[in-house]
Structure 1
Amino acid sequence: MTVTPLPSRGEAAPVFDLEKVLAGIDTMAAQRPVAAQIVSVANSDDTSAKVLSRILASDVALAGRVMKLANSAYFGMRGRVTSLQFAVTVVGFTTVRTMATVALTELDDESRLPEDFWDVTTCLALASSTLAPRFGERSQDALCVGLLAQMGAALLHHDDPEGYEALVAEHPDFAQRRTAELHRYGVNSVRLTAVALEQWGFPHTMTNRLNQVDDATSVEGGLLRAAFEVAARLTVEDHEAVPIARLSCGQLREDDVVPVLDQVRADADELRRAMLGD
């Protein structure tokens, strides 16, 4: 699908070719064959922790990140995970697959990303995970949705770096930014993430949350909307808070957000180091 959006402010509109961008990800995958294999097999019914850890061991950097995450405060196993197979069991197959997706789409290379990409992403992931039980969701699954939610923003930035940087600067509010992305590219970043994950066979339970984030009546999209609000309160200067009850379809109150903000502040740096291998 080639999308030719309307020009903004008299500028020539960039031509955004979705198929070309997704094909570019497949080209990246050829350079990270282990990560690509993990993305392919991790959701298979006959994949075991033993099989997945054997594949993972072939990529030392990625294996190290999985080990670091398994031993992080988030999973409560600090210093007790000493084997890769146990690490895979602790973090779960979906998390390993998410980390492999981060690697093969080069989200671990900050030089190719929008400014503050990982500051926002760690906030999204931890906020989603912490709030997930209030929506009847599994915390680990919500962590993965938060970690990948901004992948589309990275793809837009890679395709149109100067234009996307200007768009981000003009629209610090995440919801307004998605509207501006849609106007400029014909697709917003969260929807682009969903399209990519659908192409790779990620479960609909993950992609539906992404697809419904801008439907204000959707409880399923409410978790990610609330997570974006938490991220904005922590990362966007002079952010004007949006009532969390409205964003969450009544699932949350403002009192629920205070401990989440504290938890995200406490754990964000460690999650960032685990994801980037710092």
Structure 2
Amino acid sequence: MTVTPFPGYSGPAVPMFDIESILASIDTMAAQRPVAAQIVSVANGEDTSAKELSRILASDVALASRVMKLANSAYFGMRGRVSSLQFAVTVVGFTTVRTMATVALTDLDDESRLPEDFWLVTTSLALAASTLAPRFGERPQDALCIGLLAQMGAALLHHNDPDGYAEIVAAEPTYTGRRAAESRRYGLNSLRLTAVALEQWGFPASMTARLNHVDDYHSIEGGLLRAAFEIASRLTTEDYDTVPIVRLTCGQLREDDVVPVLDQVRADADELRRAMLGDD
């Protein structure tokens, strides 16, 4: 079935887009990754301990290995010193474990099913957000997680409409332009879809609110992710026309603040990608 995305639209009809069916398909994926789904469910529980979470995590060898690899990465400064899964859970934090489980159950660890350069951009987003987080009063680990999950909606749109989404990516080199095209085609953009999914799974409003304010340039709440997208764009988009960082961040950052962040992301992005995907 096809529909036009909004009243007055004169372009070609596009595939029916139903958020509920997309989220239901994620639940189907979750049934195939029961350990990851259980971690997403219990990780924010008040009674969940690192011991209990590591016990559940141990049942998924691939996911447990990724958590261990991330805990021993340069990002956490514990290279080679994390030898137990329970300690790894403590090092990376419950929100990070939950984020990694979400990546697994939504198939974001299968690069063959994702938009081109998905993880190159995602790791750049995550590291930029984490590095800049203190400037916005945020915890670096929380910012890392929202950066890792921000593009989940884009992956879901790609899964649902691969040919149409490929057209958007080809036509819109910038993420701002791409989100506008997503809204025209689907009635919502990928960041909003990510927020809807995370809200359904009980992620805190403090994380999802950042996603909903990215395109409001007057909102400081979206400033951190806007800055992270700008840094990711400068690193990954050919012939990118930069946007002044001071405008994107409501005056929180200057161009001099961006240079060390670019260097940090270049240095650590590949290791973070390998940890998230379990690559050697």
Equivalence for 1:5: 5
Query: Where has structure 1 moved over 6 Å in runs of 4 or more?
Result: none
Equivalence for 2:83: 82
Structure 2 gaps of 5+ residues are none
- Mapped pair 1:238 → 2:243: no
Please say if residues 128 and 139 of structure 1, whose CA atoms lie closer than 8 Å, have aligned partners that are also in contact: yes
Equivalence for 2:128: 127
1:222-252 superposed Cα distances (whole Å, 9 cap, x missing partner): 0000000000000000100000000011100
Structure 1 residue identity aligned to 2:207? M
Structure 1 residue identity aligned to 2:154? A
Please say if residues 212 and 220 of structure 1, whose CA atoms lie closer than 8 Å, have aligned partners that are also in contact: yes
Q: Distance between the aligned counterparts of 1:218 and 1:85, measured in 2?
A: 39
Structure 2 residue identity aligned to 1:201? G
Equivalence for 2:222: 221
Structure 1 residue identity aligned to 2:5? P
Q: Distance between the aligned counterparts of 2:185 and 2:162, measured in 1?
A: 13
- Mapped pair 1:188 → 2:198: no
Q: CA shift at 1:50, angstroms?
A: 0.2
Please say if residues 36 and 101 of structure 1, whose CA atoms lie closer than 8 Å, have aligned partners that are also in contact: yes
Structure 1 gaps of 5+ residues are none
Q: CA shift at 1:9, angstroms?
A: 7.3
Equivalence for 1:98: 99
- Mapped pair 1:47 → 2:70: no
Please say if residues 178 and 189 of structure 1, whose CA atoms lie closer than 8 Å, have aligned partners that are also in contact: yes
Structure 1 counterpart SS, 2:14: coil
Q: TM-score, normalised by structure 2?
A: 0.97
Please say if residues 128 and 223 of structure 1, whose CA atoms lie closer than 8 Å, have aligned partners that are also in contact: yes
Q: TM-score, normalised by structure 1?
A: 0.98
- Please give the residue correspondences for 1:170-185 in structure 2 after superposition, counting only pairs within 5 Å: 170-185=171-186
Q: CA shift at 1:10, angstroms?
A: 3.4
Q: CA shift at 1:220, angstroms?
A: 1.1
Q: Distance between the aligned counterparts of 2:9 and 2:70, measured in 1?
A: 42
Structure 2 residue identity aligned to 1:205? S
Equivalence for 1:136: 137
Please say if residues 3 and 18 of structure 1, whose CA atoms lie closer than 8 Å, have aligned partners that are also in contact: no
Q: Distance between the aligned counterparts of 1:44 and 1:199, measured in 2?
A: 15
Structure 1 residue identity aligned to 2:28? T
Percent of aligned pairs sharing the same letter: 81
Structure 2 residue identity aligned to 1:214? D
- Mapped pair 1:63 → 2:55: no
Q: Distance between the aligned counterparts of 2:200 and 2:157, measured in 1?
A: 17
Q: Distance between the aligned counterparts of 1:8 and 1:73, measured in 2?
A: 49
Structure 2 counterpart SS, 1:16: coil
Q: CA shift at 1:11, angstroms?
A: 2.0
Q: Distance between the aligned counterparts of 1:177 and 1:8, measured in 2?
A: 18
Aligned residues: 277
